[in-house]
Structure 1
């Protein structure tokens, strides 16, 4: 009991006794048994983070920010990748809750999967990042997807483009659905024809779809891609088809990636505050773990910005940033 009180800074241990205990700890290289501490009801000082793909630039930035924020508060992060598979994700969640972790940060592979209802109603605090759960209520941190899409499409319209095609990967995701909706709103507002979005899932599918699109009578003069996966597929395919981006067709993508500046021409893209998403989500989870909120759920929505480069038709030197007027439901920045 005296050793335990010394380790935990209990005031009932005299200075002389505490000094002897710390000396013994150093001599024996003693380390507290964290598993035993969890069994006594103490926090594990660890949280889980499950993302679809660790290699994805967006999620790697989010993960790094989560780890930095957790470390500042003395927490360890258990990181896992679901590979966009709800079955794998559910198994990872179960392992983490039995570990146990004090809370979980989750980017759902399928926001409507039935197991999420059980997860949301459990005792382990859950905060979703980027993709909110559609069938249950939890804390969430995301961005203004619809307004970001409108910002991108309206920039293309300002250039004078009239045939703008939307290209989507992972179109089942709520975030991508919102971006498609933003594209349609801008096209209708400008009274321009609004063709159904082109869905691509692989390099071969992208090549087949774009070959047909650019060989048709309704060949587009501009493209809006809904996430970095679709943007990369389109860039690779345009190169294969010998279609010059920024000259033969304009392009604006949703999700900015560091290497977009290295491509010729550099890619205009909607930038999400990935590091801020991870930071705020981790802070929200830690605050929820510590019982700092009484509200049943907190939804935080962050603004996005358009980074203007040359793929949209802008000239070199015209680069800049336009901000979407996003409404932030709650800012967790003290």
Structure 2
């Protein structure tokens, strides 16, 4: 009991006793037993984080921010990648809730998976990042997807482009649906009759699909790519087809990544506050764990910005 009080900063431990305990801990190389702490109903001081793909630049930045914020509060983060597979994700969630962790940060592979209802109804707090759950109510942190997409397409409209196509990957996700809706909003506002929405399935299959789009008789003069995967696949296809961004065709993407500045021409893109997403979501989860919120759910939406470079037709000086 005395050791426990000293470790947890209990006020009723005299300086002399605390000194003796610290010396004994040093000599014995003592470490607290966190499993025993959990059996007594105390917090594990750990949270889970499940993302679709650790190698994805966006989720890497989010994960780093989560770990930094959690570490500042003396929390450990258990990180897992679902590989965009709902079966893997469900198993990871179950494993984390049974170990257990104090809460889970989740980027769902699917927003309508039935199992999501059960985890939200459980005792482990859940906060979603980027992709909200549609079959249950839980805390979430996301960005202005629809408004950000409209802002990107508005920029292309202002350049005078008439045929603006929308290209996406994972179009079934709520975030993609919102961005496609933003694309439609912008064209409707500009009274553009041309509308072409294309979904890419993979890097390999996208080449033939994009070649048909970009060399056809009714080819677009500008492209809005709704996420970084589709942006990268389009850039690869344009290079193979010898079509120059910013000159032969304009491009604005959603989800800016650092290496877009290294491409010639550099890529205009909507920048998401990825680090802030991780920070805000982690703070929200820790507040929920500590019982600081009494409301059923908290939904936070963060603003996005358009980073103007050259692929849209702007000159370097205006970036």
Q: TM-score surpassing 0.5? A: yes
**Does the alignment pair 1:170 with 2:194?**
no
Query: How many Å separate the matches in 2 of 1:88 and 1:113?
Result: 12
Partner of 1:92: 92
Query: How many Å separate the matches in 2 of 1:315 and 1:7?
Result: 60
Q: Is 2:164–2:196's contact at 8 Å kept on the other side of the alignment?
A: no
Partner of 1:291: 291
Q: Which moved more, 1:191-200 or 1:101-110?
A: 191-200
Partner of 2:73: 73
Partner of 2:143: 143
Partner of 2:235: 235
Q: Which moved more, 1:94-103 or 1:20-29?
A: 20-29
Q: Is 1:184–1:194's contact at 8 Å kept on the other side of the alignment?
A: no
Counting matched residue pairs gives: 319
SS of 2:48's equivalent in the other structure is strand
Partner of 2:269: 269
Partner of 2:102: 102
Query: How many Å separate the matches in 2 of 1:25 and 1:252?
Result: 59
Unaligned runs of 5+ in 2: none
1:195-206 correspondence runs (5 A): 195-206=195-206
C-alpha offsets along residues 283-316 of structure 1, whole Å, 9 cap, x if unaligned? 0000100000111100000000000000000011
Q: Is 1:203–1:237's contact at 8 Å kept on the other side of the alignment?
A: no
Query: How many Å separate the matches in 2 of 1:23 and 1:70?
Result: 29
SS of 1:65's equivalent in the other structure is helix
**Does the alignment pair 1:209 with 2:209?**
yes
What value does the CA root-mean-square deviation take over the aligned residues? Answer: 1.0
Unaligned runs of 5+ in 1: 320-334
SS of 2:50's equivalent in the other structure is strand
Q: Cα gap change, 1:183/1:3 in structure 2, threshold over 3 Å: closer, same or farther?
A: same
Query: How many Å separate the matches in 1 of 2:258 and 2:54?
Result: 16
SS of 1:197's equivalent in the other structure is strand
| Shift of residue 195, structure 1, vs aligned partner | 2.4
Query: How many Å separate the matches in 1 of 2:304 and 2:292?
Result: 28
Partner of 1:318: 318
Query: How many Å separate the matches in 2 of 1:118 and 1:196?
Result: 39
Partner of 2:303: 303
1:7-18 correspondence runs (5 A): 7-18=7-18
Q: Which moved more, 1:21-30 or 1:112-121?
A: 21-30
Query: How many Å separate the matches in 2 of 1:9 and 1:180?
Result: 53
Query: How many Å separate the matches in 2 of 1:164 and 1:176?
Result: 17
SS of 1:247's equivalent in the other structure is coil
The alignment's TM-score, normalised by the length of structure 1, stands at: 0.94
| Shift of residue 212, structure 1, vs aligned partner | 1.2
Partner of 1:82: 82
| Shift of residue 189, structure 1, vs aligned partner | 1.1
1:113-128 correspondence runs (5 A): 113-128=113-128
| Shift of residue 20, structure 1, vs aligned partner | 1.8
